[in-house]
Structure 1
Amino acid sequence: PYKVTDWLKVGDTYGEVMEINWRSTRLRTNDGIYLDIPNNEIVKSTIVNLHYPTEVHAMRVRVGVDYNVPPNRVKDALTRAAQSAVNVLAEPKVRVFLVDFADHAVIYEIKYHMGNHSRINETNDAVRTNVWYELKRQRIRIPFPIRTLHLERHAPRPVEEGQEEARAILRGEPLFQCLSDDQIDSLVKQSDLNHFGRGERVIEEGAEGDSMFILLRGAAEVLVSKNGSAIPVATLRSGDCFGEMSLLTGEKRSATVKAEGDCYVMEISKDVMGEVIRESPDCLKQLSEMLAKRKMETEGILKDLATSSADQAAKQREYTATFLRRLKTFFAL
């Protein structure tokens, strides 16, 4: 059903209903062009009434963005741009979808809601204009179609962004104080740097694991399962390490770590760590002592005033010996 003043989409044509009579329906486009469509023809067409049941309706605008920019960062920028555009309604909220990986760009679609469709040109103009300025401020490039020629050359491996941060963090981490600067450099150079998007799980409780992570940028939530629910217990920030027990002993993951926003992390694998330990066997005892101390802290033994110093020392020796055996077994030493 439609009435005078409604906006219709008939085929690929948008127009406002100006007159309905027994012979035809008269539409007027945004360019002021009048179209008389015979009623026997219009009933054969697919008609979308943009003003039914109310004039609030969704429209979509697409934009291509550089492949190097993380999708969640792009979505946040496009959402901000569209929300502040003239004629875009606050509710329903603006949504942004990644819809395609094209030859030269990642294609995003902005879905927004507006009122009277007569303002479509001004609204699309406002959305696109805001998008340009927002992406410019965020240093996010809108690429144009190009052809890139790649020449294969055997060049030295480039220093990846984040390696210096990782070196500084590892040098301050007690578990790695037994390593020399050269060994830490080797550890960092051979480890992987990865992005995790908002809501992605970096590790999952109960999963097998043989690596640890350094959170270089972003924040992540630590969750543990209790009575079938995931309970938040901590928040990790830039500079925090996690997963070290799995790296050093092969234990299953004791918690789930989920990215709160886009995160940049370094993952140190068992193979990389094993190579460093084989070059420094003296580190095994120090690592065993450190792991034993952490286990005692977790169990509350060090805080328990009822436990004598002799008992604490005995427990420390017992745990150290246990971890030493596990380390030797895990790394096949």
Structure 2
Amino acid sequence: MPDSSRFAHRTLGTTNAGTANIGTMGVAPRPVLRHLLAPAALTLAALAGVAHRPWLTDHIAPFAGRMTAEGVVAVLAATAWLGAAWAGSRVIDVVMARSVRAVPIPRLLTDLLRAFLYGLAVLGILAFVLGQPVTGLLATSGVLIAVLGFALRNMIADIFSGIALNIEHPYRIGDWIELAPGLTGRVDEINWRATRLITLEGTALVVPNGLAAGSRIVNFSQPGTGFRATLTVTLDPEVPVARAKRILLSAIVCCDSIPAEPRPDVVVESVTLNGVTYQARFWVPDYAHLASGRDAVASAILEHLTRAGLEPARPKQELRRPRPAQPLQASEELGQALLSKVDLFAAFREDEVVELAAGMHVRHVPAGEAVVRQDELGTSLFLVAEGALDVRGAFGGRTILLDHMGPGDVFGEMSLLTGQPRSASVIANTDAVVYELDKEALDPVLRRRPELAARLADLMGLRQRRNDAHRRASTPATATPAATDHDLLARLRAFFKL
């Protein structure tokens, strides 16, 4: 019986020169004609011999006898039946090769069709060539069929389950499916008896079709390629729900590997003695990216919680009265902690950092609102405490997404130190909390220690060169020449009148 997979591969194969696929311009390519030519020629030649039976008999009988002549004619008739079945199987291969470009066809289906054709050919030979009563033959073989069916009942059940699976199509070749806990993989083959899966670990998993048909089938690849995944996080009940959702959502948004659309979200799953359990829900392109997506989201959530001064809830051993939250004290401590990690203020003493932190004020920015807009004047710097923000720039009449920012990121240093207009707009992707440090808070420190101006100019120049390199890598058309450290120092001194 011809091998359909090898035939499909040969007929669909293309060369580097771009060999046309089957059906191009309505003309079948030469490989298809070549594979149909042999069975067609054999069938026609055998039919021609059978049609000239009297002539063959008259010419063979004088030399080999009449019985031999009749045998030759019978062989030609059987060859015609088998040749027709062979040609029909090749036609099936051509049809499957045409459709395999859109949807892979299980091998079981083509095998069943070919078996049906050859079965008809055998019955035709028995009935019309050998003159045997087919109905009687089928009746007398009933006992044998019953014995074989009982002995091979499990295998027969798998075969008929495979037929049902191919009719209903709960999964196709290439789909990621889960048949039971621990039975998850990509469908590589559906044959007569079993479904072959390839797991994420690269191992083959052979599942009998009877088990697959009787299991709850979860198809991760239908109706579309992407699907939504979840990650649960439990936080202390003292954390306000709105703040918890803001922190968790911003962590997901800041993951570059997670698609922005459909938009991720965070919902409350349950409230227990250990705390409030949240579901971080996001989309992954396919099951193969599920583990890496969860890893990226979990890592980002832990980082954002740490920057916000929080941690996942721990199991409670005893009940205790909840302590009221102290948002003002926590806000001051968080602002000082964020400011102390900014490399721009690395040369400042601890007491000076505390003084600057005391001069900052908190801004709550709803999603979609602009913190700063491009080309507007400003004299302040911003530190992101919670949430995710998008950096967008207008260039050549179109707006470009330049970067994402999350907790710990800083923007607006050029406006704070030189009064330069904002170079880009910063829009809140989620609800966000930012700390604003204005020129009036920095001015007294610089007047007491003018030598800090040179250090600020050096660090500001370093940050500007790093930011410009990042923007050139992502959007080369937006790159602008960076100012020298000497120019920055002169502008800083003039702005603060030092």
Alignment TM-score, normalising by the size of structure 1 = 0.47
Structure with bigger helix share is 2
Structure with bigger strand share is 1
Greater length-normalized contact order (CA 8 Å, ≥ 6 residues apart): 1
